Amino acid sequence: MKQIIFILTTCWFIISTMGCKPDPPVKNEVSTMDITIKHVFDASDFELNQAYTLPSDESVKFSRFAYLLSNFYLIDENESRIALDNQYLYVDIRSSNTNFKLTNIPKGTYKGIGFSIGLDSTTNHGNPNQYASDHPLSPINNSLHWNWQGGYIFTAMEGKTTADNESFIFHLAGAMNKIDIELPYEFTKVDDALHALLSYDIEEVFINPNNYSIEIDGRSTHKVTDSVTQKLFSNMNDVFSLSSIENL
């Protein structure tokens, strides 16, 4: 009888203990997406002050390459756009400013991301002094605000042609020239943060659909509607590609 009672007591203890296991810890959600932008020229890693041959066969060295990104959104599985409002990126290869963080990424299943090179008209012509000094749109931070004309330079490219050591300066601007980019890539956001790897091919700025020649087409632009600006902007629709979006 004692043996039966001992066995029953032991079974009750085991069952009770199993039923009282603590719940697994709740994982905190991290609603961010880290972005790394890799700059290349054709298939090679891009570096400032290195010689590159443009599709026009002109050899050039870039001393500056900087631009602004805005209007970020996610494309969900129903093809709806999930806006990531009021988030901007200032990219500057000269200062190695090529790693960024987007916030407020909701959980879900997605088919891609979108963003713009440049700014919408309201933001472009808004008061630049409203931003903190470390904000991507602060003129103190980015040196891309076009004081004498109003608005921002969306992309700044500067350097020299190596054959004659002559400078080129392309300051591309104008709200009507904003370029909308959409990149397909299927991914799922759960609790973990995400990391996205983008590539920007600088060679593409000078080809497709326009094979741009610095000697023939022009060495500079400071206007939003001249042929230099229009040709270079029209080449920039396919400069970006999306390599991966992964959980951290």
Tokens of 98: 């090529």
Q: Which of 115, 238, 120, 110 is nearest to 177 (CA)?
A: 120
The answer to the question of residue 188 being in a domain is yes
Longest Cα pair distance anywhere in the chain, in angstroms? 106
The answer to the question of residue 22 being in a domain is no
The answer to the question of residue 76 being in a domain is yes
- Give me the mean pLDDT over the 219-247 stretch: 95
The answer to the question of residue 23 being in a domain is no
pLDDT for residue 58: 98
**pLDDT tens track for 24-42:** 565 678 899 999 999 999 9
pLDDT for residue 242: 97
pLDDT for residue 220: 96
The answer to the question of residue 225 being in a domain is yes
Instruction: For residue 3, name the pLDDT band (cuts at 50, 70, 90).
Output: low
pLDDT for residue 147: 74
The answer to the question of residue 9 being in a domain is no
> Considering the entire predicted model, what is its pTM?
0.88
Instruction: For residue 8, name the pLDDT band (cuts at 50, 70, 90).
Output: very low
Q: Which amino acid is at 4?
A: I
How many structural domains does the chain have? Answer: 1
Instruction: For residue 96, name the pLDDT band (cuts at 50, 70, 90).
Output: confident
- What's the rounded Cα separation, in Å, for the pair 244 and 206? 26
The answer to the question of residue 4 being in a domain is no
Range of the domain at 188: 31-247
The answer to the question of residue 90 being in a domain is yes
